[in-house]
Chain A
Amino acid sequence: MSDRNQAQLLVALQDLQEMILEAEDPAQRQQLESMGFPVTGIEELRTAQQKLEGLIRPAMLGKYRRLYKRSGRAIVPVVDATCTGCFAAIPTSFTSSVNRDKVMTCESCGRMLYWP
């Protein structure tokens, strides 16, 4: 499995965790239900989370979990060569074609970086 796939899996995992948090939040849930959207499949999402975690390399998953626990967002997008977690500039070498597909880490805040 390539590093690119690992980055995509980490992004998918964080998207999913955020979706679960949103579904568990009473205010958010009420807002969705008031628009007619049922929120009944939280268990299905938890199962999907477990499956996804099984596809991520253990060391990478451990790092992700530590970062997620510490800052809430373990992986953040790079926009205009800036880490959107801490707004530090990302060195141009990080965005080169050589490094673009790897799971890079922000030198300032330590979060994992993703180029959307």
Chain B
Amino acid sequence: MKIDELINHMSPELFVGDLKATTKDEALEELTDAVVAGSQIKDKQTVLEMLRNRESLGSTALEKGIAFPHGRSLAVKELTILVARSMKGVAFDSEDGKPTHLFFLLLAPPQDTGNYYLQALGKIAELVRADSVCNAMMEVRNFEELSSLLRESAS
């Protein structure tokens, strides 16, 4: 997946500079509120329930303070990616037990042929592999700076 293709699924409305949540459940709710406010998705309850179930399957928080809550739902019409940060960190059941600061929420429709959303997820994971990129992501002031940073790290 090319970087521009990935960024096309993001938008300034789907960027949260600093989450208020401190717990996993609060974070899932805040992320869902933000995605409903910033996209065409309307059915908050259905999306939130799917995300909670996905977390029951296994935490989507990896190490280095990054989490990728994701999944498919009938309530979603197209691949939608929300990026959020938490300056103080969220206890999100990460692999290393450390707080999570960066969230990439990926929502896809069920008819997502070829696991397109998993390709997007893989691409983001590749982009944020370097600590320098993660650190820089915590510094960006807006979505434009975020997308520039992702483009730079892809080149």
Listed in ascending order, the chain A residues whose CB lies under 8 Å from chain B are 8, 11-12, 14-16, 18-19, 23, 28, 31-32, 35-42, 44-45, 48, 73, 75-77, 79, 84, 114, 116
Contact = CB atoms under 8 A, between A and B. Distances in A.
Given A36-B62, A84-B111, A116-B77, A18 B72 contact: yes
Contacts of B4: none
Contacts of A76: 74
Interface residues of B, number: 33
Contact of A41 (B58, B74, B75, B122): B58
Nearest to B45: A8
Given A11-B46, A38-B59, A16 B75 contact: no
Contact of B125 (A31, A35, A42, A45): A35
18 contacts: A8-B43, A8-B45, A11-B73, A12-B49, A18-B72, A18-B110, A19-B71, A23-B57, A32-B118, A36-B95, A37-B62, A39-B58, A40-B58, A41-B57, A45-B56, A45-B57, A77-B77, A116-B43
